[in-house]
Every structure is written in C-alpha cells, then in structure tokens.
Amino acid sequence: MLTIEWSSEFGWERPHIKPLQNLSLHPGSSALHYAIEAFDKEELLECILQLVKLDQEWVPYSTSASLYIRPTFIGTEPSLGVKKPTKALLFVILSPVGPYFSSGSFSPVTLWANPNYVRAWKGGTGDCKMGGNYASSLFAQCEAMDSGCQQVLWLYGEDNQITEVGTMNLFLYWINEDGEEELATPPLDGIILPGVTRRSILELAQKWHIHVPTMENGPKLASRILDNLTSIQYGREESTWTIVVS
C-alpha cells in the first residue's frame, strides 16, 4: 500500500510504499465523525505507478479480471469539532477483482426506483467522489434487494428525472424519429459524478459518429463499447488513455 501524510503546517510528507497493514487512527479523527474524506485522482499518479510496479504480480492474468486501484484521502484531525482538518492521510490499496456483478459483466440487472429516495441534490456533493455519498445510499439499496432487485435507479426532482444507477453512470440508447442512433446520458449538472467510464463511452460514441444529445434496446452497441474498452484495458488496442507500467 502507499501512504502519504499531510498537514497544514508542513504540507505533503514523503510517500511510503509498504506491506498492506491496518491504519492507526486517533478515535477523534475527523473522518470517523464527520465523513471528511474523498477519493483523490491525479496528484500522485507517479507514486501509484511505482506501487503497481512493485505489486505487478497481483495483476490477474485474465481478461475477465483486473487490478483495482483504490486511492482514499481522509481527514485525521485528532479532535472533535466540525472544521477543516489540519491533518490528513492519503493512502492507496490494490486488489485483484472480477466482474462487479456476480452474474457477469454483460448480464442484465434488475433496477428498483422509488421517488422517496434521492442519491444527490443540487448544491450537494453528488458530483464528487465522497465517502458520505455511498453511506447515504445504502438504505435504499437494501430496500431494492428486499424487493428482489439488484440496484437502485436514482430519480431526482418533481418530474422524477433519471440520474444514475447504484454507484454508476447511466446511458440510454435508441433510434430517434429521424432514424439516427442516439446515446443519451444525464448532463453534468452538479448531481452527476463525472466518471471516467462515462467519459470514455462518450468519446467512443463520438468517434463512431453516434449522436449524443447528452441524456436496441442496445445489446449490440453495449457489446461494441464493452469490447472496445476491454481491448484498450488489456492492451489489445493502443490508446492515449493507457499508461504502460512495465
């Protein structure tokens, strides 16, 4: 795992790569009481590359699995009180993983929608990778599972606009009245997480000249997208999206 401590007094300290171990936190740490945590994305890319190099044997030799990289940034202020922390810890852990759903990567999932629950709202943190966003969604997820469904289809607003599915971005595919293929996804309006898979699909759709107004039943297109993304992921196709580790 990779760990880097930060403080308002000294800034970022030296990064450390060490065997996976438990974290030692003060019981008053702000992340434990006030959900002061986020998932960092860019600043420490070189450190993450070094971590992956050291743990490269954990990368699965399979095109149905991958190495999951989980960076996390938490407040470690050792005192109670809602405030900006003066101390924080960024850490990265790795884990080989298979498909997100046990039914596989390309099997349909059942969705449960209830307008009584919302995942995010305007002026909130729904467009950020925050730990609190996950915790607040768990009750509705349990309701969905009790109803025999696998994921929540999140609705928002008086007109029940569809926003996301579970913790994932949502796409809809259809042929419009002019006979054009359209791929729609909700716009980034402050409640939608700007996921990298979302951005990748949009770029592929534009490359293939599929109209994306920003909002077949789609198995053919979905299969094409999946094949293309996994070809890039597993090195069968060159792309500027990838970084060669070793």
Active site residues per annotation? 129
Question: Left, alpha or beta for 43 (phi > 0: left; psi -120 to 50: alpha)?
Answer: alpha
Number of Cβ atoms within 10 Å of the Cβ of 89: 20
> Can you tell me the distance from the alpha carbon of 193 to that of 74, in angstroms, rounded to the nearest whole number?
19
Of 205, 141, 145, 139, nearest to 172 by C-alpha is 205
The CA-atom distances, in angstroms, between 22 and each of 48, 71, 154 are 19, 15, 34
Residues 6 or more apart whose CB falls under 8 angstroms from that of 196 comprise none
CA 168, CA 182: separation in Å to the nearest integer?
20
Which residues are bridge partners to 174 per DSSP? 182
Structure-token pair, residue 97: 């993983």
User: How many angstroms separate the CA atoms of 64 and 119, rounded?
Assistant: 30
- Give the number of C-alpha atoms closer than 13 A to the C-alpha of residue 112, restricted to the C-beta side: 17
Beta-bridged to residue 4, according to DSSP, are: 90
